[in-house]
Amino acid sequence: MARNMRFRDATLANQVAKRICELAGNERNVKICHVCGTHEWTITHFGLRELLPSNVEVIAGPGCPVCIVPASEIDEAVELALRGVTTICFGDILRVPGSRRSLLDAKAEGADVRVVYSIGDAVKIAKRISGETVFFAVGFETTAPSTAVEAVGKPPRNLSLLVSHRLIPPAMEIMAEMRDLGLDGFIAPGHVSTVIGLEPYRVFPEKYGMPTVVAGFEPLDVLIGIYMILKQLREGKPRLENEYTRAVRREGNAKAQQLMQKVFEVADGSWRGLGTIRFSKLTLSKEYSELDAHLRHGLKVETGVDLQPGCRCHLVIVGRIRPNECSLFMKACTPRKPVGACMVSSEGTCRIWARST
């Protein structure tokens, strides 16, 4: 059996689910939060919620890096595109609504907006053309290192960076602070953890008393992660554990961390659905400020309209409601015609639920 296929074994999954039911008992309700679009995909696609006892709930937090980009930063990219700057982005962000337009709308109006799979492709485009280009750098700690690599690699002079990278642990801390959400534990994201390691999550068991388990993305990874959280709760000993040992090391990726520290500074950042979170955004450090699209092009967009009428993304993003509790879900808002950001990206909770209905 291929290595990862073991983690999809239905018999094993049922055995773990049985152990989860035994541990959960029926004395109290338990609410566990994950912060990763891929975790939500696994949970929804493989029907893991149906395997859990009724008193164990797993909610999706702000784990989609595209959904949480505030409208003001989409507006900045749109403004640059409409000013004639060749704007290069990942496909997922193309249809995310800004205050009035998405980048796709700008493209339809004649702007030069190009989709790439990596920032390396953006560098190639910039080398081929003579005009100004900008790369819209979106993503969590998983994609920020590749932006840093290109920044230190002396990109072409006609390429600037519109940096919208965000950090996951500060968003988790905001979720932990929302006492009315009643969270009991976190499943921490495997991809991000390969970069940052385990230490940034230590605050959750130590300050908030919340069991926190880094988990991989196969069904068994997630179920075992839930089991480990329940075991900690049962023992009354919240701690930080790593289920995803085949990919995540305690120290993370030191080289990626050093690069990020060299290229970026940490600042307060606005998140769609969550407002401003302290020390949650990466901006270019002084040494790399000549790459900053804000400075090069004098961008001044400060506030945006995050929610379209009727859209409840702000509640979906923090797990306060499920997608099907939004009245627009699969009516006015579908993957073909998304109204809100959570329906656009393949990592958005509404989009994942839409694909599974």
Q: Interface with ligand SF4 includes 311 (CB under 6 A)?
A: yes
Composition of the chain by helix, strand, coil, percent to 5: 45, 20, 35
Looking at the Cβ atoms of 60 and 233, the one nearer to ligand SF4 is 60
Report in angstroms how near the CB of residue 97 gets to ligand SF4 at its nearest: 9
Q: Interface with ligand SF4 includes 113 (CB under 6 A)?
A: no
Looking at the Cβ atoms of 70 and 190, the one nearer to ligand SF4 is 70
Report in angstroms how near the CB of residue 339 gets to ligand SF4 at its nearest: 4
Report in angstroms how near the CB of residue 334 gets to ligand SF4 at its nearest: 8
Q: Interface with ligand SF4 includes 352 (CB under 6 A)?
A: no
Binding span for ligand SF4 by CB under 6 A among 76-84, 124-132, 166-174, 327-335? 327-335
Report in angstroms how near the CB of residue 95 gets to ligand SF4 at its nearest: 11
Q: Interface with ligand SF4 includes 30 (CB under 6 A)?
A: no
CA dihedral (64, 207, 255, 152) in degrees, to 10, reads 60
Looking at the Cβ atoms of 64 and 248, the one nearer to ligand SF4 is 64
Looking at the Cβ atoms of 193 and 349, the one nearer to ligand SF4 is 349
Three-point CA angle 17, 192, 38, nearest 5°: 45
Q: Interface with ligand SF4 includes 56 (CB under 6 A)?
A: no
Report in angstroms how near the CB of residue 307 gets to ligand SF4 at its nearest: 8
Which residue type occupies 221?
D
E-strand stretches of 224-340: 240-242, 264-271, 275-284
Q: Interface with ligand SF4 includes 343 (CB under 6 A)?
A: yes
What sign does the CA torsion over 68, 71, 73, 75 have? positive
d(CA 183, CA 36): 16
Q: Interface with ligand SF4 includes 313 (CB under 6 A)?
A: yes
Report how far apart, in Å, the C-alpha atoms of 326 and of each of 102, 296, 315 are.
Answer: 22, 40, 9
Q: Interface with ligand SF4 includes 350 (CB under 6 A)?
A: yes
- Shortest Cβ contact with ligand SF4: which residue? 340
- Please work out the total of residues on this chain that contact ligand SF4, with binding judged by CB under 6 A: 14
CA dihedral (285, 290, 291, 292) in degrees, to 10, reads 70
Single residue of 138, 342, 345, 352 touching ligand SF4 by CB under 6 A: 342
Looking at the Cβ atoms of 137 and 326, the one nearer to ligand SF4 is 326
d(CA 240, CA 203): 9
Q: Interface with ligand SF4 includes 220 (CB under 6 A)?
A: no
Q: What's the distance, Cα to Cα, between the start and end of the chain in Å?
A: 30
Report how far apart, in Å, the C-alpha atoms of 160 and of each of 7, 91, 128, 139, 176 are.
Answer: 42, 19, 15, 17, 36
Q: Interface with ligand SF4 includes 66 (CB under 6 A)?
A: no
Q: Interface with ligand SF4 includes 312 (CB under 6 A)?
A: yes
Spell out the alpha helix ranges (H) of the chain. 10-24, 37-45, 48-51, 71-82, 103-108, 119-128, 144-152, 168-177, 190-196, 203-208, 219-235, 254-263, 293-297, 313-316, 349-356
Looking at the Cβ atoms of 215 and 326, the one nearer to ligand SF4 is 326
Q: Which chain residues interact with ligand SF4 by CB under 6 A? A: 311-313, 316, 323, 326, 328-329, 333, 339-340, 342-343, 350
